[in-house]
């Protein structure tokens, strides 16, 4: 048994019975992280001394039968856009100075600390999380554990790669247009973008209410556990939701029998999907039907909102760079510098017109979910492409949004959406299925995903074993 292949739920069972200790698990997770450092490049830094100290403290608590919380002793990684007390948060940018007190945790990090989690390190991100792949002027290229010539996706690519490698079963990611779900799909893990506000965020994202924080894990049960920990309000985030009405772990037990599921293979013919991805998603949808869900092929009633998304995204990027002097702007990722310039040319009226599109889309999806409990799509129309590129070679698109048409609409609407690994393509690369629910119904997304894992229809062979 490899401890690094176990879920957080299984690790906690082992701690409870004394089968193994948080120190053993942390040492093995750190070894996996170190092993993947040169080739995959998932980490900005490892916090080894702190991790082992926290693991020893956790082991002592478990020996006394007094765990500190729900994830005591479980190794966790944190995307390097979220504050981790005692360590710099550089956001993938040479414009951020390492010097400083760094004396505050982001809200979900603070919750994990209170629950006894062991922090292994900070994971890589493109600069300020601006794109759907993970490379930056600061840390270079993050690669896919399944094939290091391919991208891990982004912007939470380091977190996805870390979980896939076995360097901790839990990670915190952020998602402003797909940044949890994209790398989860490419790296064969589970990723959940919760309803906006379910997980508080501080400092606020420059991308505003597009940006969500959520779990990246080995399976849906681990995500439910993590969401029970981090899904609590924090006074630093005025937009945070009140506590959830119940435990997300308890909600897993409901199954899918009787749920009304809309299956949209291509958003009404708007998206060309690779055959291997389409087939994998179709098989998983058939499993949902076999488990008792009422499945109907149906498309949500909207056209591609990419122009409105670009307006909101590019103006957010411009805000990021607004106070940088010219010589500092020159060290930004060239693609980020380009969209900052585009955003700076947009007017308040442009922005408000994009908000109108967003409002209409939210209304349409609200009505859609009166008819259907869940919407199922591919997470992405493709599997992982060449590392070091924003778009696949020979793509007709210039920006990352061209190959992510299933993800960013649900940032505009703030709905919960997850990526579930449902198979491998002919090259051994993971494919993902997206499950979307109405706002505040994170429980339904997790229930459906968990049902697929329980049925053996979710999860893929780990890197090197496919």
Domain that holds residue 434: 3-393+401-454
How many whole angstroms separate alpha carbon 318 and alpha carbon 338? 10
Assign 50 a pLDDT band (cuts: 50, 70, 90).
very high
Whether 80 maps to a domain, the answer reads yes
Whether 464 maps to a domain, the answer reads no
**Predicted model pTM:** 0.98
Compute the CA torsion angle 277, 186, 191, 287 (nearest 10 deg).
20
CA-nearest of 408, 398, 446, 373 to 267 is 408
CATH number of residue 178's parent domain: 3.90.1300.10
* Average pLDDT of the residues in 311-330: 93
pLDDT score at 348 = 98
pLDDT score at 323 = 87
CB 313 within 8 A of CB 339: yes
* Average pLDDT of the residues in 376-401: 97
pLDDT score at 37 = 87
Assign 356 a pLDDT band (cuts: 50, 70, 90).
very high
How many whole angstroms separate alpha carbon 195 and alpha carbon 186? 22
Whether 84 maps to a domain, the answer reads yes
Assign 375 a pLDDT band (cuts: 50, 70, 90).
very high
How many whole angstroms separate alpha carbon 190 and alpha carbon 203? 25
Assign 33 a pLDDT band (cuts: 50, 70, 90).
very high
Task: Give the 3-state secondary structure of residue 263.
Answer: strand
Assign 466 a pLDDT band (cuts: 50, 70, 90).
very low
Biggest distance spanned by C-alpha atoms of the chain: 62
Whether 149 maps to a domain, the answer reads yes
Whether 462 maps to a domain, the answer reads no
CB 155 within 8 A of CB 166: no
**282-286, 403-407, 441-445, 460-464: which has the minimum mean pLDDT?**
460-464
Q: How many CA atoms lie within 13 A of 23 on its CB side?
A: 9
> For all residues of the chain together, what is the average pLDDT?
97
Whether 414 maps to a domain, the answer reads yes
* Average pLDDT of the residues in 204-215: 97
How many whole angstroms separate alpha carbon 224 and alpha carbon 253? 11
Compute the CA torsion angle 110, 112, 118, 120 (nearest 10 deg).
-70
Q: Which is it for the CA torsion 435, 440, 446, 451, positive or negative? A: negative
Assign 1 a pLDDT band (cuts: 50, 70, 90).
confident
C-alpha distance from residue 93 to each of 178, 315, 416 (Å):
20, 18, 29
pLDDT digits (tens, 9 = 90+) for 115-172: 999 999 999 999 999 999 999 999 999 999 999 999 999 999 999 999 999 999 999 9
CA-nearest of 258, 261, 257, 274 to 300 is 261
Whether 460 maps to a domain, the answer reads no
Comparing 71 with 464, the larger pLDDT belongs to 71
pLDDT score at 465 = 63
Assign 333 a pLDDT band (cuts: 50, 70, 90).
very high
Whether 172 maps to a domain, the answer reads yes
User: Which spans in 65-179 are helix H?
Assistant: 107-114, 157-165
pLDDT score at 461 = 84
CB 191 within 8 A of CB 173: yes
How many whole angstroms separate alpha carbon 416 and alpha carbon 360? 18
Active centre residues (catalytic): 79, 155, 179
Q: What percent of the chain has pLDDT over 90?
A: 95
User: Which spans in 235-347 are helix H?
Assistant: 248-251, 275-290, 306-321, 326-329, 334-344
How many whole angstroms separate alpha carbon 33 and alpha carbon 27? 10
How many whole angstroms separate alpha carbon 224 and alpha carbon 442? 9
Domain count, the chain: 1
pLDDT digits (tens, 9 = 90+) for 425-452: 999 999 999 999 999 999 999 999 999 9
**33-37, 211-215, 240-244, 285-289: which has the minimum mean pLDDT?**
33-37
């Amino acid at each position: 048994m490899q401890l690094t292949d176990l879920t957080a739920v299984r690790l906690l069972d082992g701690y409870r019975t004394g089968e193994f200790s948080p120190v053993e698990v942390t040492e093995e997770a750190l070894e996996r992280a170190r092993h993947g450092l040169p080739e995959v490049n998932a980490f900005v830094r490892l916090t080894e001394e702190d991790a082992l100290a926290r693991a020893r403290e956790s082991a002592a608590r478990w020996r006394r039968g007094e765990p500190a919380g729900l994830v005591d002793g479980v190794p966790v990684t944190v995307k390097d856009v979220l504050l981790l007390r005692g360590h710099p948060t550089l956001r993938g940018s040479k414009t951020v100075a390492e010097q400083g007190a760094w004396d505050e945790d982001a809200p979900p990090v603070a919750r994990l600390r209170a629950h006894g989690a062991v922090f292994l390190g900070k994971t890589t991100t493109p600069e300020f999380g601006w794109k759907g792949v993970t490379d930056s002027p600061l840390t270079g290229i993050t690669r896919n554990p399944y094939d290091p010539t391919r991208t891990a996706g982004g912007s939470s690519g380091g977190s996805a790669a870390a979980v896939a490698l076995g360097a901790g079963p839990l990670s915190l990611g952020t998602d402003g247009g797909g940044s949890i779900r994209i790398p989860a799909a490419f790296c064969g893990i589970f990723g959940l973008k919760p309803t906006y506000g379910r997980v508080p965020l501080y400092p606020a994202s420059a991308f505003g209410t597009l940006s969500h924080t959520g779990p990246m894990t080995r399976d849906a049960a681990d995500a439910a556990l993590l969401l029970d920990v981090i899904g609590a309000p924090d006074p630093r985030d005025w937009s945070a939701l009140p506590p959830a009405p119940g435990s997300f772990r308890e909600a897993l037990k409901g199954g899918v029998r009787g749920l009304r599921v809309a299956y949209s293979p291509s958003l009404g013919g708007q998206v060309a999907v690779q055959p291997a991805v389409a087939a994998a998603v179709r098989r998983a949808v058939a499993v949902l039907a076999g488990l008792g869900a009422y499945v109907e092929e149906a498309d949500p009633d909207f056209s591609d909102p990419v122009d409105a998304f670009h307006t909101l995204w590019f103006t957010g990027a411009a805000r990021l760079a607004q106070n940088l002097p010219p010589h500092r702007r020159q060290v930004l990722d060239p693609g980020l510098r380009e969209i900052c310039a585009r955003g700076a040319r947009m007017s308040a009226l442009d922005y408000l017109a994009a908000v109108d599109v967003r409002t209409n889309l939210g209304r349409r999806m609200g009505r859609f979910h009166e008819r259907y409990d869940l919407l199922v799509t591919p997470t992405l129309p493709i599997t992982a492409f060449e590392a070091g590129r924003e778009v696949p070679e020979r793509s007709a698109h210039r920006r990352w949004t061209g190959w992510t048409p299933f993800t960013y609409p649900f940032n505009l609407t703030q709905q919960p959406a997850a990526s579930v690994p449902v198979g491998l393509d002919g090259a051994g690369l993971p494919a993902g299925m997206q499950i979307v629910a109405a706002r505040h119904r994170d429980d339904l997304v997790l229930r459906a995903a968990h049902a697929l894992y329980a049925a053996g229809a979710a999860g893929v062979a780990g890197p090197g074993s496919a």
